[in-house]
Chain A
Amino acid sequence: MSQPTPQNELIAEREILAERPAAVAPAAGEARGLSQGQIVRRRFFGHTGALIGLVAFGAIVLLSFTAVGWGPIPGWWRFNHEQVSPLVNDGQPTLTLWPLAGGEHPFGQDRIGRDLFAMTMRGTQQSITVMFLIGLVAGFIGVVVGSLAGYFRGWMETVLMRLTDVVIIIPALLLAAVMSRTAGRRDEGSWFSSFAADNGVVVLGIFLGLVLWVGLARLVRGEFLTLREREFVDAARISGASNLRIIFKHILPNAVGVVIVNVTLTMSAAILLETALSYLGVGVKAPDTSLGLLISQNQEAFSTRPWLFWWPGLFIVLICLSINFIGDGLRDAFDPRQKKFNAKRAVARERSTTAGIAAAGATTAVAAPGVAGTTAGGDTPAGSVTPEGPTGGPEGQG
């Protein structure tokens, strides 16, 4: 990550060049004397939305995993998701904001008296576990397939990419439904079915990961195709580096941005996919619970017990939203062409530039006809070139 590749130097040079006409001191030395990791970290922490997303996501993970416990570790909440207790206030939420108090059942209870807070926390836990597993499995397979195909080319590329094509034309939701049903089979009596009976969520996550790697594999292959032709790869090869060393030490560190950003976006699509599958009845199965399953079980009761429906939905939206913001921040941080990660500073700089031009001459009226907000100055490449925004793929939706 920290080795000075030509690309990094190029970026640094470009950034300094781009900075010069702006003549604003604070941002000018941004890339000087910093490793790529440091630059990325700085940019990420300068991105307000991503920071809020990170904090929110961390809080949700902490809350859900400590509240009802994980595996053998007990949690601090007094109920678990299966425990039935007498209805308090007909199951309505006892949470009050002023004075802030949780009460007996802060999120309320369902018809038979199970505590919704415990169920929601358990569901959040399961959904997050599935999401991370999908990210890990899909990320790993995608990187391996993509880098092998992109680096070795030849027959290996043909075989791997045709395999990718085969998987990619099967709509993800449809394939995932078949896969998770396969994962949910309990009738075989083999070691697999007994493992799956205890760890349904783990199996579901791994199987879904086996479906969602294709997009990443294509991107990584593309990245490898361009990087393997670069001079620093030639230099490494001439000095006798093995293929493995070139892949791991020279190419992968340069492709890490694409990988991380796309794994994040896959994860945000994955959480919607998991909740959708559970909602349809092919994901997490009934004795256990998940956010999608909770909504599916409680949608009929919307008019009588709306809170059963609001809380799980709220948590899905919160998790997905924070992951999306984190992904957005990561994309901005890793994109070398992206400089305006701090919009306020960029606007201020732009104003000062255009003001300078306006003071300098009468040509401004032609050069920058007054559309507020467009970068008429043109000295800073605004906006990323790659499609911004949530491009994790709409597979989970629909």
Chain B
Amino acid sequence: MVTYVVRRLIAAAFILLGASFLVYNLTAISGDPLEEFRASSAPNAAQLMQARSELLDLGTPAPIRYFKWLGGAAQCLVPFAARCDLGKSISGQPITEALGIALVQTLTLVTAATVLAILMGIALGIVTALRQYSALDYGVTFMAFLFFSLPIFWVAVLLKEYGAIGFNNFLREPEIPWYVAAGIGAVVGLAASMAVGGEPKRRAIIGGGGFAFVTALLILASVTRWFRYPGLGLAVILLAGVGLAFAVAVLVAGLNNRRALYSGLAAVAVGLVAYFPVQGLLNLATPLMILILGILTVLVGIGVGWAFGGYDRGQNMRVGGIMAFLVGGMIVLDRFLQAWPAYFDNGKIRGRPIATIGAQTPNLEGDFWIRGIDSFTHLILPTVALILVSLASYTRFTRSSMLEVMNMDYIRTARAKGVSERAVVMRHAFRNALIPIATVVAFDIGALIGGAVITETVFGVRGMGFMFLDGIFHVDPNPVMGVFLCVAVTAMAFNLMADLAYSALDPRVRVK
């Protein structure tokens, strides 16, 4: 094991050397860095050209320049020396500094999108695998292929037009006509009836119920002008919490385990009791405080589950913890929504909240909640675009992995000995289907840091991908190398971790 890791690391170092040499020289020969001055008629063009040549050290040939760069970059390996020197960009900014800024931008952009895409993709994949060859399966498969075929820059422009400009226009006068509400309700009802499966009567009831519920909800929201003055309030948190408690208990423990259900409901009750006392605290919120409160909430939920006791405390604690997290999330969401009218009427926003470009409104002043909403309204469009195009591969991968596992002998054995279908799917099948998915997810998280080049360009986020492209356009190898180093190191680290994780999860696979 140790020798394996050491060998992999040594090989990785050599690969990194070779690849960085290639990238540096390719960038250097890909164009003429002095092109803009050659065409210019400015009187000091010759001086500018001279300055640029000195800055980029164009006198020395590119391969030798690479080794100079490598000498600076090698200092990054010395721990605690803080002498990392990756050169300077064409505008004179040190690359290490620029990388720090770009990395934060990129991670805020892609993290939420990747996590959501993975969660939704796995859920969809499991449902389609369980309903193989159903209308739902065909529908989701077709959608997966369609989304996979969409160019993200095209999706981005459509989202800007309809998601941002269209929605902002809607918010000016937020009234939903009854036929639009009915249409949305019909789509949701149809999807619900396809997802549940089973007897036609049951599907009709659930589909009709979904239709009526969604339509009524939309009309209610329109009448009460909810979109203008949104909020959840105690009643919605109570209803949604009870519903979620049942759902989580069904998935995690099954309804036969009453104690698990009760611990979920108790966690909801605790959350409701804490709703008013915690509001005063939330008014002074900082990111750190929200983090500490979140951890506390989950611990309280786990404690509630533990207190219910019974023969299987682990399940109670899991249900309690998940429910506490969800109810806590709803309370925070409610607080965000309370800040919405103030954000909406802010002089910098002027009633058009959903932004099409950038990562935040410049010079916006406000508390934690206002700034939170601001980054949310900026991130929502790129996040949706990224989810759309990356959802498909997760869905298909999970589906095939799950299908393979569901045909294993041990699944048949589990059913034969009378294990409930929930336990078969959630405990025997799902966990094993996750093993190959875990490695794919590790690869993708490793690739995250490279940023989403096109998404960043379209939405004007100055992240890693933007920095890289900018470097290429100006024939400036230093930023390109900085981005490449980050991407390559994380990618190789995560590849190694994926291999180790695979052998840890599946004992049949041994690393050697």
Contact = CB atoms under 8 A, between A and B. Distances in A.
A296 interface: yes
A187 B32 contact: yes
Interface in B116-158: 129-134, 137, 141, 144-146, 148-154, 157
Contacts of B418: 366
Interface residues of B, number: 80
Contact of B488 (A169, A317, A368): A169
Nearest to B147: A390
Contact of B149 (A167, A320, A347, A373): A320
A321 B390 contact: no
Contacts, number: 209
A164 to B, nearest CB: 10
A372 B198 contact: yes
Given A171-B447, A280-B454, A373-B134, A388 B32 contact: no
B149 A165 contact: no
Interface stretch (B17-25, B210-218, B343-351): B17-25
A73 interface: no
B45 to A, nearest CB: 17
Given A317-B150, A321-B146, A166 B132 contact: no
B417 to A, nearest CB: 8
Contacts of A280: 453-454, 457, 469
Contact of A166 (B22, B134, B415): B22
A297 to B, nearest CB: 12
Contact of A382 (B132, B154, B487): B132
- Most chain A beta carbons < 10 A, residue from B151, B152, B488: B151
Contacts of A165: 11, 15
Given A280-B469, A299-B157, A317-B150, A374 B133 contact: no
A134 interface: no
Interface in A158-177: 162, 165-167, 169-171, 173-175, 177
B401 interface: yes
B450 A378 contact: no
A144 interface: no
Nearest to B400: A388
Q: What is the predominant secondary structure among interface residues of chain B facing chain A? A: helix
Nearest to A323: B149
B197 A174 contact: no
- Give the size category of A's interface with B: 35 or more
B396 A390 contact: yes
B145 A325 contact: yes
A347 B133 CA distance: 8
A334 interface: no
A72 interface: no
A276 interface: yes
A398 B152 contact: yes
Interface in A325-371: 325, 328, 343, 346-347, 366-369, 371
Contacts of A170: 19, 22-23, 484, 488
A394 B396 CA distance: 13
B19 A166 contact: yes
Contacts of A177: 468-469, 472
B421 A369 contact: yes
B148 A324 contact: yes
Contacts of B16: 169
B491 A169 contact: yes
A299 B29 CA distance: 31
Contact of B130 (A276, A346, A373): A373
A353 to B, nearest CB: 14
A79 B294 CA distance: 64
Contacts of B454: 173, 276, 279-280, 397-398
Interface stretch (B46-54, B238-246, B403-411): B403-411
A264 interface: no
Contacts of A382: 132, 403, 407
A126 interface: no
Nearest to B417: A366
A398 B459 CA distance: 12
Interface stretch (A5-13, A32-40, A112-120, A178-186): A178-186
A171 B153 contact: no
A390 B150 CA distance: 12
B209 to A, nearest CB: 20
B145 A324 contact: yes
A279 B151 contact: yes
Nearest to B424: A369
Contacts of B397: 387-389, 391
A300 to B, nearest CB: 9
B393 A391 contact: yes
Contacts of A292: 151, 153
B404 A178 contact: no
Nearest to A386: B400
A147 B453 CA distance: 33
Contact of A372 (B131, B157, B444, B450): B131
Contacts of A95: none
B407 A282 contact: no
Contacts of A367: 412, 415-416
B493 to A, nearest CB: 11
A397 B152 contact: yes
Nearest to B446: A169
A102 interface: no
B480 to A, nearest CB: 8
Given A367-B416, A394-B393, A317 B407 contact: no
Contacts of A397: 152, 389-390, 454
A323 to B, nearest CB: 8
Contacts of B311: none
A173 B399 CA distance: 28
Contacts of B165: 303
Contacts of B390: 394, 397-398
B22 A398 contact: no
A374 B386 CA distance: 31
B489 to A, nearest CB: 9
A302 B491 CA distance: 38
A375 B389 contact: no
A374 B153 CA distance: 38
A149 B150 CA distance: 35
24 contacts: A165-B15, A171-B487, A171-B491, A174-B480, A174-B484, A177-B472, A181-B30, A275-B153, A279-B153, A279-B454, A292-B153, A299-B153, A317-B150, A317-B151, A321-B145, A328-B145, A371-B130, A376-B415, A382-B403, A387-B400, A389-B144, A389-B393, A398-B452, A398-B454
Given A366-B416, A369-B421, 5 more contacts: A169-B491, A171-B487, A299-B157, A317-B151, A373-B133
Interface of B: 11, 14-16, 18-19, 22-23, 26-27, 29-32, 129-134, 137, 141, 144-146, 148-154, 157, 161, 165, 197-198, 386, 389-390, 392-393, 395-397, 399-401, 403-404, 406-407, 409, 412, 415-416, 418, 421, 436, 444, 447, 450-455, 457, 465, 468-469, 472-473, 480, 483-484, 487-488, 491-492
Which 9 pairs show the lowest CB-CB distances between chains A and B? A389-B396, A383-B403, A320-B149, A388-B400, A398-B452, A390-B148, A181-B30, A321-B149, A313-B154
